[in-house]
Amino acid sequence: MSTSTQFESEHKLDFETATYHRQFDPTTIWNAFRIGTVEGLWCCKEKAYEILSVINSNPGNGHFTDVLQWFENSCKRDNRALIIREFTNEGLKKHLIEKKGFIEYGTSDVIKYFLVIP
């Protein structure tokens, strides 16, 4: 697993990532990530970073905020949107829309765009 420290999140957590070896979609290379107590799967598409799953082994500790900070920083740097896929937690989806600037995207996803002015 590689670690990136070029950006410092609120809790000063590293972004660790590795190729996810159980590829379930032959058109996409999925990667596992860990930021503090949060783990999940993500991929890089042409115009967006996509998060497929997120699990926090210690909910309420603020580490999900760090996940958003890491991905949002990368989106701004790379001029990409951030998509979070396949919501089963409607409360989190509502929070992301009402408090974090995401909008609905498709039937069960959300997206956030980052305007980069050259």
Q: What is the CATH number of the domain that holds 12?
A: 3.40.630.30
Domain assignment of residue 118, yes or no: no
The confidence score (pLDDT) of residue 3 equals 53
- Give the tens place of pLDDT for each residue, 41-62: 999 998 999 999 999 999 999 9
Domain assignment of residue 72, yes or no: yes
pLDDT at 2 over 80: no
Domain assignment of residue 117, yes or no: no
Instruction: For the chain, give the percent of residues with pLDDT over 70.
Output: 93
Provide the 10 A C-beta neighbour count for residue 47. 11
| Average pLDDT estimate for 33-46 | 96
Structural domain count of the chain: 1
Cα–Cα dist 52/115, whole Å: 23
